[in-house]
Structure 1
C-alpha cells in the first residue's frame, strides 16, 4: 500500500479507475454464468447501485465541498460553490444526453430522434451507459486530488472508499447492459464486450478530473459538487426508473436503501 500512497494523485486516480472498470468486467462476465435474465435480480442490482451512488455523492463529494468552503475566508456563502457545482453537474449531463444519440432500457426519454440516426439500438444503449460512466470517473479523480490538497473531510481513505463504492455499483451496471443484450439474442462474447467497454471511460475520466483540480485548486469545491450533481442525475434519470420496472418496486427500493447503507458505512469507517 505504501507504493500507492507515494504516487502522484493523477496516477492514483487512474489505478482506481482501472479497478472500477475491472468491476464492470466482472459484472459483464455474468453472461457466461447465467442462462436467462432474472428481472428481479436486475432490479435489485440497479437499486443497490443507485443507493451507493447517492450516499457517495453526499459523504465523499458534497460534504467535503461544504467543509472546504467553510474553512476559507471568503465573501461567498458557504453553500454557493456546492449549489452551483451540483446544478452544473446535472446540466452538463443533460446537455450530453441532448446531443449524443442514445437509448435507455427504461424507455425512450425523447433525447434522440430515432429516425435521424443510423446507430443501432445496441450502440445507443451502449452510449447511454458510457455517458453515465463519465461522472463516476470524474468523481474518483476529484476525490484523490482533494485528498492530496488536504482539505478537511477529504482523505486518501475516503477517496479509496469512494472508488470501492463505485466499483461495487459497477458490477450490476456491467450486468445491466450485457445481460439484456444477451436476452435480445446477441452472442455472449459480444454482450460481454459491450458491457465491459462501457466503463473504459472511467480511468481516463479519473485522471482528467484529478489533473484539472490539481492545476486549478480554487475550483475544488465546485468540482466535488459538480461530480455529485452528475452522479445524482444518473441515479434519477436511469437507475431508479429502470429498477422500478416490471413490478419490482419494493425489492428495488429496499436494495437502494441497502446500497446507501453500504456506502455510508464504507465512507465513515474508512474515511
Structure 2
C-alpha cells in the first residue's frame, strides 16, 4: 500500500496484505497443539470475537460514514444532503441480502450445514462406521453358523455370495468415507472463499473512493485493509485447524487455509475499478460492502465464536477488536 500510486494497484497491494494475514493465521496450525481441543478452541473463539469487533468498527468508520459523506455532497439527494441516507440504506440492504442469497445457494453446492458442523458429521463416514458394519456382519455370520446343524459341514453358495457382498459393502463404505472427507475439505474452502470475496471488494472500494469525500482518505483505506486482514487471521486458522484435527498433515492444512483468501485480490480489483469508472455508484458500493461485512459478522462469526461454550472470551474479543479498530480509524484516519 503505497500512497500516490494508482488506486487499482493500491487495492491489489492491500488485498495481498489481507491474503497474507489469512496465510499467517492458517500457519498457526504448525505451532498450536490441536490435540488440546479445549485450549485451541478457546484461542480460536477469542480470535473470532476479535475479528467480529474489527469488522463492526470498520464497517462504520471506513465504509458507511464515507458513503454518507459522499452522498451529502451530491445534488442528487436533496438540499444539504437531506436524503443522503437513501444510497447508504439501499446499498447496505443489498449487501446484506446478497450474502443471504448466497447462503440460500449453499445447499445446492452441498453446503446445507455450516462448516463447524461438518466435523461432527465425520462420525457417520469415518472408519468407525466401517468397523461397526463389519461387526454387525460378523454377528450375522456367527448367528448363521450357530443355527446350522452339527452335521452340516458344507458351505452353501449363498453364504459365499453373502460374505462377498458384506465385504464389498465395507470396502465401498471406506472409499466413500475418503471421498467425503476430501469433498468436505473443498466445500469448506468454498464457503470461506465466498465470504472473503466481498471483503476484497470492500478493500478495493476503499482505495477507489480516495479523494471523493473527506472521510474517504488513504489512511482510512489502509486502516480498512489492516482491519480486514486482522479478521482474516482467525478465518485462516478456522479452516486449517479442523483439517489438522481430522488427520491432514500440517502443510496440507496450511495450504487449504491460506487458499481461502486467494480470491480477495480479485475482489479488490473489481471493487476499485467499479468505483473509479462509475462514480455515481460510489456511495452504494461503500454501503454494499458494509452490509455484506455486517451480515458475515452477525450470521457467521459471532454464532461460531459462541457455540463452543467460550461466549465470555468471544465477547471480550469482540469488544477489544472494536476498540482497536475504532482507535486506528480515529487516530490515523
- The corresponding residue for 2:61 is 59
- Conservation of the 8 A alpha-carbon contact between 1:106 and 1:238: no
Unpaired stretches in structure 1, ≥5 consecutive residues: 109-117
- Give the structure 2 partner of residue 112 of structure 1: none
Q: What's the counterpart of residue 73 of structure 1?
A: 75
Shift of 1:180: 1.3
Q: Distance in 1 between matches of 2:55 and 2:296?
A: 9
Q: How far apart are the structure 1 equivalents of 2:332 and 2:223? A: 6
**Does 2:29 align with 1:31?**
yes
Conserved in 2, the CA contact under 8 Å of 1:106 and 1:245?
no
Deviation, 1:270, is 1.1
Aligned-residue offset at 1:104: 2.2
1:189 Cα deviation (Å)? Answer: 1.4
Is residue 216 of structure 2 the alignment partner of residue 210 of structure 1? no
1:191 to 241, 253, 260: 253
Residue 266 of structure 1: aligned partner: 328
8 Å Cα contact 2:62-2:224 kept in structure 1? yes
CA contact (8 A) 1:49 1:172 kept: yes
CA RMSD of aligned residues (A): 1.7
Residue-by-residue CA offset, 1:171-211 (whole Å, 9 max, x unaligned): 11111110111112222111101100000011111111000
1:133 to 193, 196, 209: 196
Secondary structure, aligned partner of 1:74: helix
Instruction: Output the TM-score relative to the length of structure 1.
Output: 0.91
Q: What TM-score comes out, normalization by structure 2 length?
A: 0.75
Structure number with bigger Rg: 2
1:124 paired residue number: 187
2:6 alignment partner in structure 1: 8
Distance apart, 1:18 and its partner CA? 0.3
Number of residue pairs aligned between Structure 1 and Structure 2:
260
1:168 corresponds to which of 226, 230, 239: 230
- State how far apart, in whole Å, the 2-side matches of 1:244 and 1:27 are: 20
CA distance in 2, matches of 1:220, 1:191: 38
Contact in 2 for aligned 1:106/1:241 (Cα 8 Å): no
Residues of 1 paired with 2:246 and 2:331: CA distance? 42
Q: Which runs of 5+ in 2 are unaligned?
A: 119-179
1:227 pairs with 2:289: yes
